[in-house]
Homo-oligomer: A and B are copies of this chain.
Amino acid sequence: MEQNFTYDSLFNFSKLVFEKMGCSNKQATEAANVLLSADLRGVDSHGVARLSGYVRLWEAQRVNAQPDIKIIHESPSTAVVDGDSGLGLVVAPFAMQVAIDKAKNAGTGWVSVQNSNHFGIAGVHAMMALEQDMIGIAMTNASALVAPTFSTEKLLGTNPIAVAIPAGKEPAFVADFATTTAANGKLEILQRKNKPAPAGWVQTKDGSQSTNANELKNGGALLPLGSDREHSSHKGYMLGSIVDIFSAILSGANYGPWVPPFPAYVPMPQNMPGKGIGHFFGAMRIDAFRTAEDFKANMDQWIQRFRNAKTVAGEEKVIIPGEPELEMEAHHKKNGINLLQPVIDDLQSIAQKFELTLL
C-alpha cells in the first residue's frame, strides 16, 4: 500500500520536525531541502524514509540541533570544518559552500569535515557547484558494513562518491554511487520482498559467498565494488578506503570500524580515535582550467556521443549519469511522491510525538 504526497507537504512537514528538534528556521529549511531532494531524485533510501532515524539520533543526543559549525583550519584552497555534532544535512551544505567560496579565489576549494553525522544524498551537495560553473565533488564515510578483500571483518562504510559536472545544452553529468557492489538500500528492497540477493553482493561472517539478503544480520558483510578478487573487489576496497581517508583522516573524524552508526540503537564503537563522521567536498572552477564555453561544448559532444552509442540488444540507450534522476525529479514534482505504508506510519508517529499533522 502506498499514498501520494506533494513535494510541498513533505517539505513543510520535514522542516517543522527539524524545527521541533530545535533547529533554526534556516537550518531546518536546509535539512528539509536535502532530505526531499533525495525523494525527488528517486533515491528513496535517503529521503523522508530516514527522517525518523535523524529524530532518534537527536533523542539519543548524538545530534546537536543548534551546532556552531565552523572552520578550524584553512589555507587558500582548503579548510577543515568542525560540524559540532550537527545534522550532516546541514553541515554538508555549509562545508560545500566553503569549498565553493575557496574556489572563487583560488581556482579550487577542498574541505574535509569532522564531527558530523549522516549527510543524506551525496549528489545534491556536489550539485551545489553547478550553478557557479564549477565541478562539485562530495564524499562521506559511514559506519562499517563492508569487508575489504580477504577480510571477514567489516571495516568500511558504503562510502559514496558524487561528482557533478556542468554541461552546456545538455543536463549536467551527475555521478553518485556507493563504493560497494550494491548499496544497502537495494538489499533492503530485497529483504522487504523476501527475495534472495544476487551472488557477489554480500558474504557470510566467514567470508563465503551468500545470496541471503539478510546476511548482515548473521554477521555477514557487504562486498566492495567488484565483488570478488577475480573481478577486482580490491579496487572497490581501495576506493572506499580513499573516501574514508579523505573524509576522516584529513579532518580528524572517525574512520574504518570506528565510524558512529546511523541507527541510534546501535552502540557507539569503543576507543574512537576522532570526532563524529567525516566528509570531503571539492569545487573546481571550470574557468580556472579553460573557458566555460569551450568546456561545455566538449561536454555536450561527450554526452551526445555516449547517449547515442550502439546498444546491446534490448537496451534503449546508454545512460548518462544523472539523467534518470533528473527525469525522476520532473516526474515527482509534477505527480507528487509516493510513500510506502511503513514510511507513512513512521512519519505519523513522528507527527504524534511533535504534535504535528502529516497532510
Contacts and interface: CB of A to CB of B under 8 A. Distances in A.
Interface of A: 73-78, 80, 105-108, 110, 112, 148-153, 155, 163, 165, 173, 175, 177, 179-182, 198, 200-201, 206-208, 225-227, 230-232, 234-236, 238-239, 241-242, 244-245, 248-252, 255-257, 273-274, 284-286, 288-290, 294-295, 298-299, 301-302, 305-306, 309-313, 315, 317-319, 321
B207 A250 contact: no
Contacts of A238: 163, 175, 177, 321
Contact of A106 (B76, B234, B302, B321): B76
Given A232-B181, A256-B305, A175 B290 contact: no
Nearest to A165: B245
A71 B112 CA distance: 29
Contact of A241 (B108, B175, B180, B251): B175
* Among A77, A255, A286: residue with most chain B CB under 10 A: A77
B198 A319 contact: no
Give the number of times this chain occurs in the complex, counting copies.
2
A148 B305 contact: no
A255 to B, nearest CB: 6
Given A107-B77, A235-B225, A321-B238, A230 B198 contact: yes
Contacts of A175: 238-239, 241-242
Nearest to A284: B110
B73 A251 contact: no
A208 B311 CA distance: 11
Contact of A75 (B106, B180, B241, B321): B106
A231 B181 contact: yes
Looking at A80, A179, A235, the one whose CB has the most chain B CB atoms below 10 A away is: A235
Given A77-B77, A290-B250, A309 B177 contact: no
